[in-house]
Amino acid sequence: YVTLQGKFALKTPIEEHACFDRDAKDWGKPSIDEGNMWVIRHLCDVHWLSEASMYIKVMYKSDLKTETFADALALSGYEFSECMRKTPKCIGLVYRYARELLSYMRSKADCSDGSIALETAHDLCSNLVGDSEQQEVDFHPSYSGAEAERATELIGQFVADVCELRGGTSAEAMASRVVDCFPELHHQHGVYTKINSLQERETSTCSITSVVWLLQGRYDFFVAPQAPDTRMSPKLWADLQAFMRWADLDSHMVKTLLVFLAVRGLGKCQSFAKAMPVGATSPEDVVLQLRHVVPGTMPSWDSLKGDDRLLMLCLNMHKSFNVAQMLQGENT
């Protein structure tokens, strides 16, 4: 709740009461009702109440009543989350603010009435964004300018080596190079790591590495992790190689394919999926929305230098047609 104008009485059970926001300047002295049951604070103008309920499950025992004609606003946790879905850029900042707020509340003797002074909330925000109120959360602050160009060069050289059948010294070396070349997969600065989606990071790394072995015809590396009793047969491998020769992928198609594998896993991350507008349900929808509202999330996409029509086509196609399910006979 946010009180706007008029006078209010905030009543808290006396057994629950303790002076929560001692930093406030305009709370006045609390009083006790005649029945010795309630501690009453008289509020005027703007105050924030019960804000923690938007971030965690909490039960307040306080009661807010008006003493004059007054105006107040109410915002539920559900309504707040729906607003956040429409502005994913703010999610990281709100998350950090919520952590600061809850930490502040826990440091006080009591938060039973849920009251917090406006200047306290403002100070918490200032601690997060510094002097600029327009600062945005950047998933890849280190990939800009010269470093962005460097990432583009690394991906370009990687694709060239794959197409020229170079760089396949060992499975471990290839996996390490994949992580180094595609910024999303970086073990420290990559977006998968930042949102703690390590399983999807490993899946994307494995997918890219497997495609490289397929393109380079390295059956030995491709089947090395597979158990002997379930290992891909040489005949099936020969069929796949025949298909690859038929597809005749050029370097741009290979680069687009690898970027697709690097970024598509982000669409499966619940941290992003839950923040998307209603209707963006498939992983491809989530990736496309991320590209629109938080373009810095996917530096590998930027390496295409605007020539991303094929990537967009692949993402939109996968929204309604799953090639993997077709190959496994799941769709008819």
Contact 70, 8 (CB under 8 A): yes
Higher pLDDT, 266 or 31: 266
The domain total for the chain is 2
Arithmetic mean of pLDDT over the chain: 78
pLDDT of residue 114: 59
25-49 pLDDT, tens digit each = 445 466 776 677 777 777 777 777 8
The pLDDT > 70 percentage for the chain reads: 79
pTM over 0.85: no
Give the CB-side neighbour count of residue 188, counting CA atoms within 13 A.
3
| Shared domain check, 59 and 170 | no
Query: Quick one: residue 104, left, alpha or beta (phi over 0 = left, psi -120 to 50 = alpha)?
Result: alpha
For the segment 309-328, the average pLDDT, to the nearest whole number, is 82
Last residue of some domain: 129, 157, 175? 129
pLDDT of residue 206: 92
Contact 120, 21 (CB under 8 A): yes
| Shared domain check, 117 and 172 | no
pLDDT of residue 252: 93
| Shared domain check, 61 and 86 | yes
Closest CA to 241 of 277, 206, 260, 216: 216
| Shared domain check, 213 and 98 | no
**Would you say residue 151 has pLDDT above 80?**
yes
For the segment 262-273, the average pLDDT, to the nearest whole number, is 84
| Shared domain check, 219 and 117 | no
Examine residue 273 and state whether it is found in any structural domain, yes or no.
yes
pLDDT of residue 88: 63
Examine residue 191 and state whether it is found in any structural domain, yes or no.
yes
**Quick one: pLDDT band at residue 94, thresholds 50, 70, 90?**
confident
Other CB atoms closer than 10 Å to residue 246's CB: what's the count?
A: 7
CA angle (35 as vertex; 33, 41 as ends), nearest 5: 20
For the segment 73-82, the average pLDDT, to the nearest whole number, is 81
Contact 105, 54 (CB under 8 A): no
The 10 Å CB-count burial string (b at 16+, else e) for 147-186 is ebeebbebbeebbebbbeeeebeebeebbebbbebbbbbb
CA–CA separation, 155 and 67 (whole Å): 66
pLDDT of residue 118: 67
- State the residue range of the domain holding 47: 2-129
